[in-house]
Structure 1
């Protein structure tokens, strides 16, 4: 199992309740219905207010490295990336278990 963790920090001037952030979240939330390689999926805006915290968190699971790689290039995933790119900065990491 591969656990894929993504942290997103909204860019200055982009609010959590902005149309762009809400649309990106809705698209992110819908990915498990569109990408068959996804096994587990939790995403949403950070609920801990702290200046050091990131604004959005995704924790997802994939059966294998190959499944994760297929997700990375899946057209539906790329559409979601295109929504987040102009409004946020990204950090991610993967764990194998």
Structure 2
């Protein structure tokens, strides 16, 4: 199993209520039901207001590297991630569990 973690930081001048951010969050929220390789899917806005905190997070679980690749290349994931490229940066970690 692989735990896929992603932390998003909104770009300078972009707030959580920006229409792009709201649409991006909605696109990610839908992925759990659209991509069969996802065994677990959680995503949402960070609730803390610390300087070092990221703004949005994804926590997902897939069976193996092939499933992770299927998720990453799925058209719905590509479309959602493409939206976020316009207004945020992110870091990822893939952990074998």
Q: Measure the CA separation in 2 of the matches of 1:42 and 1:31.
A: 10
For these two proteins, the number of residue pairs brought into alignment is: 97
Deviation at residue 77 of structure 1 after TM alignment: 0.4
What's 1:96 paired with?
A: 96
Question: 1:40-85: CA deviations, max 9, x gaps?
Answer: 0110110111010000111000011110011111111000011100
What's 1:44 paired with?
A: 44
Runs of 4+ residues over 3 Å off in structure 1: none
Does 1:70 pair with 2:70? Answer: yes
Q: CA-atom RMSD, angstroms?
A: 0.6
Please give the TM-score of this superposition, normalised by the length of structure 1. 0.97
Deviation at residue 33 of structure 1 after TM alignment: 1.3
Please give the TM-score of this superposition, normalised by the length of structure 2. 0.97
Query: Could you say what secondary structure the match of 1:89 adopts?
Result: strand
* Structure 2: gaps spanning 5 or more residues: none
Query: Could you say what secondary structure the match of 2:90 adopts?
Result: strand
Q: Measure the CA separation in 1 of the matches of 2:83 and 2:25.
A: 9
What's 1:86 paired with?
A: 86
Q: Measure the CA separation in 1 of the matches of 2:39 and 2:17.
A: 28
Question: 1:18-46: CA deviations, max 9, x gaps?
Answer: 11111000000000111111110110110
